[in-house]
Amino acid sequence: MTGRTGGREPTGDEAGTDAVFTALLEDSAEELYESAPCGYLSTTMDGTIAKINATLLGWLGLERRAVVGRKRFADLLTVGGRLYHETHFAPLLRMQGELGGIALEMRTADGGRLPVLVSSAIKYGGGGEPLLIRTTVFDASDRRAYEEELLRRRQEAERARTEAEQARAEAEQAQAEAEQAWKQAETDRVRLADTLAVLQQSLLPDTLPDVPGLEAAAHYHTASPDRLGGDFYDLFPVGENQWAFFLGDVCGKGPEAASLTSLTRYTLRAAAHHDPDPVTALTTLNDALHERYTASGDPRYCTCVFGVLESGHDDGHVTVRLASGGHPPALVLRADGHADFLPTPGGMLVGVFPAASVGTAQTVLAAGDTLLLYTDGLTEARTGPTRDDLYGDDALYAFADEHAPATPRQTITALTELLDGFGDGLDDDTALLALGVPADASRTRPTTDHPR
């Protein structure tokens, strides 16, 4: 006898092996259909299920008697899958006769979702008439998990790419299979940066108004083009010879910070027009933020300085009344060549507590004096060879003392150059607002400057 044994009689072990293979090959087509590693079902042309294998029934946790002749294929899908099937899958299948590898989700008996890949083909009769639809279903759970992991890594990389190129390189390596998707992500990032720049501008005044007997200048430094900042400032009239101003910094970055900034600015403006008292304005803001965020379990807050300028004095002096909630103290560059902080001790973060204390201060700006407000991006800039030190309040005081006296425009220009000199040590947004009385107020035309 010849065969696999090379012309000799098989031994007992070989004969047993042949028997096993023979038994395997004797599996019935029905058993292969029912126990296949994928799901099979056949439906009539209207989608009614005529046949379904045990594998697919097991995945879905359904009984055959509850499915065959009672449900359509679309009934096994989620709501979204059913819509896609009716609007895309079924029409394309009728046109093309077959479709392969379509990602859908099926509902399980316990309410879960089973991601699957579906391929269908129409069976035609001898006369070319469509008879039924044969469908193969593959469990795509592992693939879905893999795709979700790729998406998660991509999102992490996008957030980190502005902070470290190395993180971007690691993300690109982790997503080598999605190089084309990365190119699209880069395009989206540039478009997002342009959009964010426009949105950032909308959170700040377009220009500063002309204030009789005063000069005003401002500057806003954006630390990252990929994130919306939370610093803000404004200057506006609230009555005859009265001008309100404020500057502050909200917690967080991005859209949430932008929403908080917008609410803060409009609340302060509305409060000031109702009652320009600085303490009242910050108290109103605290009530609004606490009710909107903290009381609802999503605490958000800001630091803020709010002040009122009162001009029209015969001597040309301007009275300044300030209220502060957790914000760095204002600086005054005096005409006699020295600088002073205006401490506002006791001021608490705005929006954290139902009733927050507010620090107050008052001063008079004479001819040649300049009031400077700033956010902590300036004093918390990282300096030194290793970027381990903070610029700090003492260095800012020395800088102001060295430059006094200086007009608001000169003060902002000098600080802008200082910020530029920090380089990558400046990793937070910074807002600056300077208000001052011209050295010769009687002959100097009021001016404003608003560099951006």
Q: Does residue 211 share a domain with residue 124? A: no
Q: Are the beta carbons of 175 and 146 closer than 8 angstroms?
A: no
Q: Does residue 221 share a domain with residue 119? A: no
Domain with 93, as residue range(s), is 15-139
Q: Does residue 211 share a domain with residue 110? A: no
Q: Does residue 229 share a domain with residue 102? A: no
Question: Would you give the distance in Å from CA 49 to the centre of its chain?
Answer: 45
Q: What is the pLDDT of residue 116?
A: 94
Q: What is the pLDDT of residue 448?
A: 44
Q: Does residue 225 share a domain with residue 101? A: no
Q: What is the pLDDT of residue 446?
A: 42
The reply to whether 164 falls in a domain is no
| CATH number of the domain within which 57 lies | 3.30.450.20
Q: What is the pLDDT of residue 294?
A: 87
pLDDT tens per residue across all 452 residues of the chain:
444 445 566 666 666 666 666 665 566 788 888 989 999 999 999 999 999 999 999 999 999 999 999 999 999 999 999 999 999 999 999 999 999 989 999 999 999 999 999 999 999 998 989 999 999 999 988 877 777 788 888 888 777 777 777 766 776 777 667 777 777 766 665 555 555 554 555 578 889 999 998 999 999 998 776 677 789 999 999 998 999 999 999 988 878 888 899 999 999 999 999 999 999 999 999 999 999 998 888 889 999 999 999 987 778 899 999 999 999 999 999 999 999 999 999 999 999 999 999 999 999 999 999 999 999 999 999 998 888 899 999 999 999 999 999 999 999 999 999 999 998 899 889 999 999 999 975 444 344 444 44
The reply to whether 351 falls in a domain is yes
Number of domains in the chain: 2
The reply to whether 389 falls in a domain is yes
Q: What is the pLDDT of residue 16?
A: 66
Q: Does residue 239 share a domain with residue 345? A: yes
The reply to whether 19 falls in a domain is yes
Residue type, 421: G
The reply to whether 36 falls in a domain is yes
Q: Does residue 132 share a domain with residue 22? A: yes
Q: Does residue 327 share a domain with residue 225? A: yes
Decide: helix, strand or coil at residue 26.
coil
Residue at which a domain ends, from 98, 124, 139 = 139
Long-range contacts of 193-201 (CB under 8 A, 24+ apart): 193/225, 193/226, 196/225, 196/226, 196/227, 196/228, 197/222, 197/225, 199/228, 199/258, 200/228, 200/229, 200/258, 201/452
Cα 233-399-369 angle, rounded to 5 deg: 60
The reply to whether 171 falls in a domain is no
SS3 for 222-234 is: CCCCCCCCCEEEE
The reply to whether 162 falls in a domain is no
Taken in order 63, 67, 68, 73, is the CA torsion positive or negative? negative
Q: With left for phi above 0 and alpha for psi between -120 and 50, is residue 219 left, alpha or beta?
A: beta
Q: Does residue 415 share a domain with residue 335? A: yes
Q: Does residue 247 share a domain with residue 129? A: no
Q: Does residue 209 share a domain with residue 128? A: no
Residue at which a domain ends, from 139, 171, 196 = 139
Q: What is the pLDDT of residue 443?
A: 41
The reply to whether 212 falls in a domain is yes
Rounded to two decimals, the pTM is 0.57
179-202 vs 141-160: helix axis angle to the nearest 10? 50
Residue at which a domain ends, from 113, 139, 165 = 139
| CATH number of the domain within which 441 lies | 3.60.40.10
Sheet of 231-239, strand order: 231-239, 242-250, 302-310, 318-325, 359-365
Q: Does residue 359 share a domain with residue 217? A: yes
